[in-house]
Amino acid sequence: MIMHLKFLFISVLILTLNFELNSQGCSMCKSIVQSEISAGNEGISSGINFGIIYLFTSTYFLLIAGGLLWYFRSKKDQKNLEIRNKISERVASIHN
């Protein structure tokens, strides 16, 4: 399970750090609007909506992935803390 989360995190990190791939948003939106206006199409928003949805979902995907990583890590830390407490109690009961 942790290996899958590491793979997911690394994949998301690589995709978001690729500056040239992700920096094309503004020029793409501008060219879509210009091409649809010059072609006389009424549906200018159809091309732009896809870009907006991409930007919207990628942000929430990163937030959800971060939340899942935090949740599973804290759950693992809680288990480790419980194990340490049990060991400490056993050691204390032996000394008494």
pLDDT of residue 54: 77
Burial 49-85 (b: 16+ CB within 10 A, else e): eeeeeeeeeeeeeeeebeeeeeeeeeeeeeeeeeeee
Rounded Cα distance between 52 and 85, Å, is: 50
Q: What is the residue-level pLDDT of the chain in tens, covering all 96 positions? A: 677 878 888 877 777 666 555 555 566 766 777 777 777 766 655 666 667 777 778 888 999 999 999 999 999 889 999 999 999 888 888 876
pLDDT of residue 55: 77
Helix (H) or strand (E) holding 44: helix 44-95
| Domain count across the chain | 1
pLDDT of residue 35: 76
Residue appearing with tokens 């809680």 = 78
Q: Which residues contact 33 (CB under 8 A, 6 or more apart)?
A: 44, 47, 48
pLDDT of residue 71: 92
pLDDT of residue 44: 59
**82 lies in which domain range?**
2-95
